[in-house]
Structure 1
């Protein structure tokens, strides 16, 4: 449409019958040019232009003079028609509004009439409503007081039946009793609310009443627990459950709880003491059958007798602790919490109690220890009687180890502070005193009887007996439960009593013997002692000390054998002569002038050496034949022979140096003179030959 419009606007003026030469044509051309410029300068993106063009396009308008003249009139006509329709529509609206106004006026009138009627009704019913409201408020207040009274009675008062259940000793201690007791405790606790009000009289009365009821209930519970403790069967779980609950509740009164524990400990002490006495002798005061034979009838060996008694005490302790653990500890920390609550409610008891909190395990161990007091007393009497009636040191030490074993067991079972451990400590010390006394008596008798060592230099009989006893003691100690860190130190006391005195006797015998018998005797004694102690790790230090001592005696034997080799071979005089000879030429020239190196003496020494060598090792071994260890005999002899070979090689080197020095001098002086006989020719043996012969 736009394209056609501009094309028609651009037609030549001749089509309109105007000449281009006329002035009007010139003005029209300028107007058209301005119009085109205006149109072309307009933006086709303008919404108003786009709407106008769309409107023209929808009407199918052609760009003609008639159309342009008629377009404005048509548009104005349409606008007038639209305005007329709008005026007509607003007239209808105005008519409706008039009708609505009339209806509103009628409604306002009705409302005014209704307000008048309502005001009149309010004036007539007002006093009645006020009176009804006052009565309703009074009713609510009375109902509220009644509810408070009912709640107070139900919460702070108990019935006569409940009071009887709580305080009467004729009524059983059952679930109903504990429920009522719990309720009374809650009432007593809630009295704090009443005491916080302005009028405290009611709170004080309820507090006093509940306190009396609580005290009566705890007294009833205390007496009931005491009756139960008299014939309590610790193996019956049903009874244990009721007593356990009662103890947990009674713990809120620490004084009564401790009194019950004291009563229980005394009862259990008597029961366990009677049971232990029956197990020992067979006497049965309560006429119950004993499944096993009495300990005193079948335990003839003292060690077994003590062991059976300790085993019975240990078994009874384990059973007692397990039963009491179920009775006192199975509820966790409830007893501890109850005791703490009781101390808070009775602060005057804190001066009598320790500041440390209650520990159930410690209290259990202390209770078990108290239960075993009578048993421990009887055990101490019987065990001390056994210890003092026997003079066997080994038996006393075994008993001490056995007691030490059970002492460590009871320490783990009852803790370090148990009173029962004091009994074990005393018995162990008594057994060790008996052991030391017996050993000292035996050592004193040995010292008075023995005067000389055996002829064959073997360990004396008393040492063999002592070592057999020491072997038994070491075996007993090895099977005990001595701690690894303390084993070696603890066994030193045994060695001090069971070995050192007898080694001291051997040492006195050793000092009276000549060389080499003294060293042989000492080595034999120490070797047999080492053979007894070496299997045990806790004696490693003592074994090492003995081995060092053996090394010292062995060195003396090596020196003795070496002296034997040098004396028997004739080498000693040569060594003594060469002791002051150095390697200088002046010193070496003096060797042939020495007495042992003169021809006759040197050839005699060579002859003596040849006679010594064939039987040298046999003769040397014969000197120390009494050594019990054949390997030691061989090692000592070989070491002495080696040192002898070194001495011979020293003499040989000096002889060869002297011969070489003299030979050089003779060659320098006169080559035609016949050489003299050298030292080597008079002493022909070589070091290699000596080593072969003595190997």
Structure 2
């Protein structure tokens, strides 16, 4: 047992055996260190001989020694560098210690100064904040130097520029924001700033007023630009200054309008085109029409430019001022217009021309009055219209008077009726003049009033003269003559409107004359048919009719029925109206028919005891009426 223990011990303690065992047990292909050792060995172990194997150990040791020597050399250099660093660090440490000592000494010495500096820095920060606040306050509630210069200008005559309105808006904005400042508790500062801004605003508006007034005094229509519009918008807040500027503008434009009107009358347009209006003074219609056409064109232009001047203003409260200014501008042309129009009406004698010019003036008057209301121009146009109406009515009256009075200087009145009882030539001529002027009047706007006045101006004196001239005639001749005159008047007026009332009055007069003629014609028939005594007996219920007398009546009646016109009055046949003749004839014959019926009924009444009535009355009243077409 001791032998075996010794054997195992010897096996365990034998290093060579251990290595050999380890070599056998190891796996070279997975041993990284072994592979690296063999790889390094291959660098200098080239030949695998006995000699080289014996020298292998010594070579490895030599190689290991060389490596250690190289390492020692490199380590020496490192040590020298570390020693140098150490020396430097030691010197730095000494310097740092010295600096620390100096710093500690300086710190102890400047402690009070640092504390004072910190206090001053804090105070400086506070002052800087206050400065920023004050700067912001000033920039918000004070004007800059440039804005102040823009408000007041460097000189009194400096023109207004757009920057002026920016500065003025800035003043108004500061003034309004002061209310917020007052609500924040800074009443004193806010009131002071508001007072200062008010002074600035008043001064700026005063300068703006002077500039605007001067500009309006010398204004041309092409100079109404944005600056003027903005100026008027700002001045609207000052009604008095605003009114003064509007008045100055209206006065300036009034003189310019009058000058332009006179130039248009006497000089004409640029380079003589259009020609002067007064070149056509010989043609009243064109002359008056050109003048009113120029006014009709000029006044709306003035209104447009006035509205352009007030474009940026609130026009809700400016309607009256605009109309007043426009009236003042246009009033200047009243005198030259009135003089020329009155000259034309005083010199022109043609009635149709006078009436045409009056209607032309009425047309333009309505148009112009829609643009300009009130003022002297409206009154002037009304007076001229009244004057023109008076002129043509007076001219018409004069013509009527001349024709109704006979030749000049005779004053014999309307010529007496002739034997044919037709209207005289004067009546026909007057009606022809009336027809001519009514043909013009029926085409105008205010034709109802014109037609009524014109007809009254002619028909009333004509009726009076006709009645007066017929008053010396016998009743039948007078009735026939008046009917013929009235028929001509009715025939003339029937072609025109608004004549219903006049036609009714003429018809009433005609009916009266027809009644007269009917009465005379019926009396003539009664006399020619010997109906007078018979009709007297008919009025008495007790007196009996004579059959012989009735037979004579029936013989004349039969002859009358065969030729009714044989007993017609000569004057009735002179009536120009067929309708009038038939009316008189039928009404008078209806009287005969009525008397015949009474007579027929009396004779055929059994209570009257007439004998052999059939031989006397061969026709019934109905047959007589049918034969006379009554």
Kindly indicate whether residue 462 of structure 2 is the aligned counterpart of residue 462 of structure 1: no
Q: How far is the alpha carbon of 1:503 from its aligned partner?
A: 1.4
TM-score w.r.t. the length of structure 1 is: 0.65
Find out whether 1:281 has 2:241 as its counterpart. Answer: no
Alpha-carbon offset, residue 539 of structure 1: 2.6
Aligned counterparts of 2:566 and 2:277: Cα–Cα separation in 1: 64
1:117-149 CA-partner distances (Å, limit 9, x unpaired): xxxxxxxxxxxxxx9999999778646643441
For 2:314, the equivalent position in structure 1 comes to 335
Structure 2 residue runs of 5 or longer lacking an equivalent are 1-115, 406-410
Q: Equivalents in 1 of 2:230, 2:445: separation in Å?
A: 40
Sort the Cα spacing of 1:147 and 1:564 in 2 relative to 1 into closer, same or farther, 3 A: farther
* Contact 2:280 2:286 (C-alpha < 8 Å) held by counterparts: no
Q: Which residue of 1 aligns with 2:456?
A: 496
Distance in 2, matches of 1:180 and 1:567, equals 113
Task: Give the match for residue 480 of structure 1.
Answer: 444
CA RMSD of aligned residues (A): 3.5
- In the alignment, the residues of structure 1 paired with residue 314 and residue 575 of structure 2 have an alpha-carbon distance, to the nearest angstrom, of 74
| 1:372 positional shift | 1.0
Is 1:303 aligned with 2:285? yes
Aligned residue number for residue 154 of structure 1? 139
**Distance (Å, rounded) in 2 between the aligned partners of 1:471 and 1:141:** 105
Cα distance in structure 1, aligned partners of 2:354 and 2:444:
14
Residue 580 of structure 2 corresponds to residue 632 of structure 1: yes
1:662 maps onto 2:609 in alignment: yes
Give the alignment partner of residue 427 of structure 1, picking from 371, 384, 408. Answer: 384
User: What corresponds to 2:338 in structure 1?
Assistant: 380
CA distance in 2, matches of 1:272, 1:368: 11
**Alignment match, 1:571:** 531
CA distances 1:80-125 after superposition (whole Å, capped 9, x unpaired) = xxxxxxxxxxxxxxxxxxxxxxxxxxxxxxxxxxxxxxxxxxxxxx
Would the aligned equivalents of 2:358 and 2:388 in 1 still touch at CA under 8 Å? yes
Provide the rounded CA distance (Å) in 2 between the counterparts of 1:471 and 1:188: 77
Q: Contact between 2:327 and 2:375, CA under 8 Å: does it hold in 1?
A: yes
Whole-Å Cα distance in 1 between the matches of residues 241 and 122 of structure 2? 54
* Aligned mates of 2:599, 2:125 — CA distance in 1: 139
Q: Could you tell me how far 1:179 is from its partner in structure 2?
A: 0.9
Q: CA-to-partner distance for each residue in 1:306-343, whole Å, 9 max, x for gaps?
A: 22222221121222223323332x44xx335xxxxxxx
| Post-superposition offset of 1:217 | 2.5
Residue 575 of structure 1 and its aligned partner are, at CA, apart by 1.8
Contact 1:602-1:682 at 8 Å conserved across structures: yes
Pair 1:662–1:498, CA change in 2 (3 A): closer
Taking structure 1 as reference, are residues 533 and 363 closer, same or farther at Cα in structure 2, changes over 3 Å only?
A: farther
Is contact 1:616–1:694 with CA below 8 Å preserved after alignment?
yes
Shift of residue 551, structure 1, vs aligned partner: 2.2
Q: 1:534 to 1:689 in 2, by over 3 A?
A: closer
Alignment match, 1:591: 544
Secondary structure at 1:537 match in 2: coil
Shift of 1:475: 4.0
Match of 1:108 in 2: none
Contact 1:398 1:473 in 2 (8 A): no
- Residue 198 (structure 2) pairs with residue 241 (structure 1): no
Partner residue of 2:479?
519
Range with greater deviation from structure 2 (199-208 or 147-156)? 199-208
1:72-87 pair list within 5 angstroms: none
Q: Secondary structure at the match of 1:452?
A: coil
SS of the residue 1:252 aligns to:
coil
Deviation, structure 1 residue 618: 5.0
1:678 aligns with 2:612: yes
Kept after mapping to 1: 8 A contact 2:538/2:599 = yes
Aligned equivalents of 1:642 and 1:166: distance in 2?
A: 104
Aligned to 1:315: 297
The alpha-carbon distance between structure 1 residues 244 and 454, as it changes in their structure 2 partners (threshold 3 A), is farther
Query: Which segment drifts farther, 491-500 or 376-385?
Result: 491-500
Matched, 1:645 2:602: no
1:299 and 1:178 mapped to 2: Cα distance? Answer: 52
Residue from 221, 243, 250 that aligns with 1:258 = 243
> Could you tell me how far 1:638 is from its partner in structure 2?
2.6
Given that 1:404 and 1:480 are in contact with CA atoms closer than 8 Å, whether structure 2 keeps it comes out as no
* Uncovered stretches (5+) of structure 1, i.e. residues with no partner: 1-130, 337-357, 582-586, 664-676
Decide whether aligned partners of structure 1 residues 616 and 146 sit closer, same or farther in structure 2, where only a CA change above 3 A counts. same
Q: Distance in 1 between matches of 2:417 and 2:317?
A: 66
2:521 alignment counterpart: 561
Larger Rg: 2
Change (3 A) 1:304 1:471: farther
Residue correspondences, number? 506
**Does residue 212 of structure 2 align to residue 225 of structure 1?**
yes
For 2:126 and 2:501, the matched residues in 1 are separated by 97
Output the CA distance in 1 between the equivalents of 2:268 and 2:450: 41
- Which residue does 2:60 correspond to in 1? none
Q: Secondary structure at the match of 1:407?
A: helix
CA–CA distance in structure 1, aligned partners of residues 320 and 459 of structure 2: 43
Partner of 1:479, secondary structure, is coil
Q: 1:220: how far off? A: 3.4
Q: What TM-score does the superposition give when structure 2 sets the normalisation length?
A: 0.71
Which SS does the other structure have where 2:421 is aligned?
coil
Give the aligned partner of residue 50 of structure 2.
Answer: none
1:41-56 mapped onto 2 (5 Å cutoff): none
Moved more, 430-439 or 504-513: 430-439
Does residue 1:687 correspond to 2:621, yes or no?
Answer: yes
Q: Could you tell me which residue of structure 1 aligns to residue 329 of structure 2?
A: 371
What is the distance in 2 between the residues matched to 1:452 and 1:623?
Answer: 16
**CA distance 1:554–1:250, change in 2 (3 Å):** same
Q: Distance in 1 between matches of 2:119 and 2:534?
A: 149
Instruction: Specify the alignment match of 1:605 in structure 2.
Output: 553
Give the CA deviation at 1:500.
1.0
Work out whether residues 257 and 332 of structure 2, in 8 Å CA contact, stay in contact via their aligned partners in 1: yes
